[in-house]
Amino acid sequence: MIIRDYIIKEVLRTFSGVFVVLFLIILSAQFLRSLSLVAEGKIALDFLFMLIFFKNIESLTLIVPLTLFLSILLALSRLYKDSEMIALSACGIGPNSLLQSILIVIFSFLFLEIGLSMVLGPWASTKILYAEESYKSQAELELITPGQFNHADNGQRILFTEEMPEPTELKNVFLHVDNGDSSSVLASDNANIVIDSKQGSRYLVFQNGNRYDGSAGSLDYRFIKFRDYGVLMEGKQPEKIVVGRKAMSTLELLNDSALSYKAELQWRISQILMMIILAIIAVPLSKTAPRQGRYGKMALAILLYIGYSNLLVLAMNWLRKGVISPAIGMWWVHILFLLLFIILFVRQMGWLSIFKRNGRNLLHCPSEFDEIS
């Protein structure tokens, strides 16, 4: 009982460290990618943190299996490196006991992965979808980035302002409006965002500016000097949101017979199975010589994870296209890696040497001691 608790404690302690490192890497990558979108004026700064939050919830579905796999591998490899496993073997703690301890750890993370894969992941995808549609429906005025050309209405409107001292105040601003056969340009040193208190409409009001109407390359144009000129700047009406398979609830996937939905359902279940199978593979894979070091199997472990994930993606695409039947689906990938675990575990237990010894006796092949005698 004490030894089992010690092994579980080592795995959980390693899990916390590995999880923090992987989560920070994913968080940094998403933050930098989102910042580039903010710099390009494609998303607002307020939307940035909401997007990162829900994206990270989606990422947890993939981070937890990888973290648990590496944590078990590193924790048990340290026991082999420090020769603690030799002492444990002398106390009767073999691969079977290690596997039983690891199964307890797997069981403790099983409900977390089920919740992430079946509930929280689709919920986060739905929130991202609705947030993106809400973002698109906002008025262009709320998305102005100073010092950049801000496009709206599929490029029919281009707004530029040098600076915005206040959220509703623009300096050195001009607006180009494409009317099809002609275009209009409004320019002013100052402009303000004004909201109609009765209807809630939003206007961009230019002060003491100029308006130019005409066609490019033509001398036929009109020049107007104005004191105040308001331009209605309304956002798009929210379109009907079509929820994709990633954002559908698990119950909805169960009630639909389409191949793409079956593939999505098997993908969510596969994340749970992958966590379990990779975790038990880490037990025989962690066996290393003391001189090999704690990180001797890390490259092989990462290759295993990449191969497992890519095969699952390949199987999911085959299932969606109808290349393989749902009965085969993505299950063959899990069976393949389960067979890999059986081979590694049998080899670690030394059962293969028993078969070799029995085969040598059946063939009447003498050993070195038989020859001496």
Could you read off the pLDDT of 147-177 as tens digits, one per residue?
Answer: 777 776 666 788 888 888 887 788 888 888 8
CA 118 to mean position of chain CA atoms:
15
Give me the mean pLDDT over the 300-310 stretch: 92
Report the distance separating Cα 123 and Cα 210, nearest Å: 50
Q: Is 191 helix (H, G, I), strand (E, B) or coil?
A: strand
* DSSP, res 142: G
**13 Cβ contact partners less than 8 Å away, ≥ 6 residues apart:** 75
Question: Mean pLDDT in the chain?
Answer: 80
Report the distance separating Cα 353 and Cα 370, nearest Å: 18
Model confidence at 20: pLDDT above 90 = yes
pLDDT category of residue 271 using cuts at 50, 70 and 90: very high
pLDDT at residue 195, as a whole number: 73
Question: 169-178 and 157-166: which strand pairing?
Answer: antiparallel
pLDDT category of residue 371 using cuts at 50, 70 and 90: very low
Could you read off the pLDDT of 307-345 as tens digits, one per residue?
Answer: 999 999 999 999 988 889 888 989 999 999 999 999 988
Question: Which amino acid is present at 166?
Answer: E
pLDDT at residue 273, as a whole number: 94
Model confidence at 80: pLDDT above 70 = yes
Model confidence at 292: pLDDT above 70 = no
Give me the mean pLDDT over the 135-139 stretch: 56
Residue tagged 């940094």 (tokens): 28
Model confidence at 373: pLDDT above 50 = no
Q: Give one DSSP letter per residue of 299-363, joined into a string.
A: HHHHHHHHHHHHHHHHHHHHHHHTSS-TTTTTHHHHHHHHHHHHHHHHHHHTHHHHHHHHHHHHT
Model confidence at 370: pLDDT above 50 = no
pLDDT at residue 46, as a whole number: 64
User: Strands, DSSP E only, in the chain?
Assistant: 149-152, 157-166, 169-178, 183-195, 202-214, 221-232
Report the distance separating Cα 284 and Cα 348, nearest Å: 6
pLDDT at residue 290, as a whole number: 62
Which H or E element spans position 276?
helix 259-285
Q: Which residue has the higher pLDDT, 335 or 350?
A: 335
Quick one: which of 8, 76, 65 has its CA closest to 295?
A: 76
Report the distance separating Cα 264 and Cα 320, nearest Å: 9
pLDDT category of residue 369 using cuts at 50, 70 and 90: very low
Model confidence at 363: pLDDT above 50 = no
Percent of the chain past pLDDT 70, that is, above it, reads: 77
pLDDT at residue 114, as a whole number: 92
Could you read off the pLDDT of 43-69 as tens digits, one per residue?
Answer: 666 677 788 888 888 888 889 999 999
Model confidence at 14: pLDDT above 50 = yes
pLDDT at residue 121, as a whole number: 87
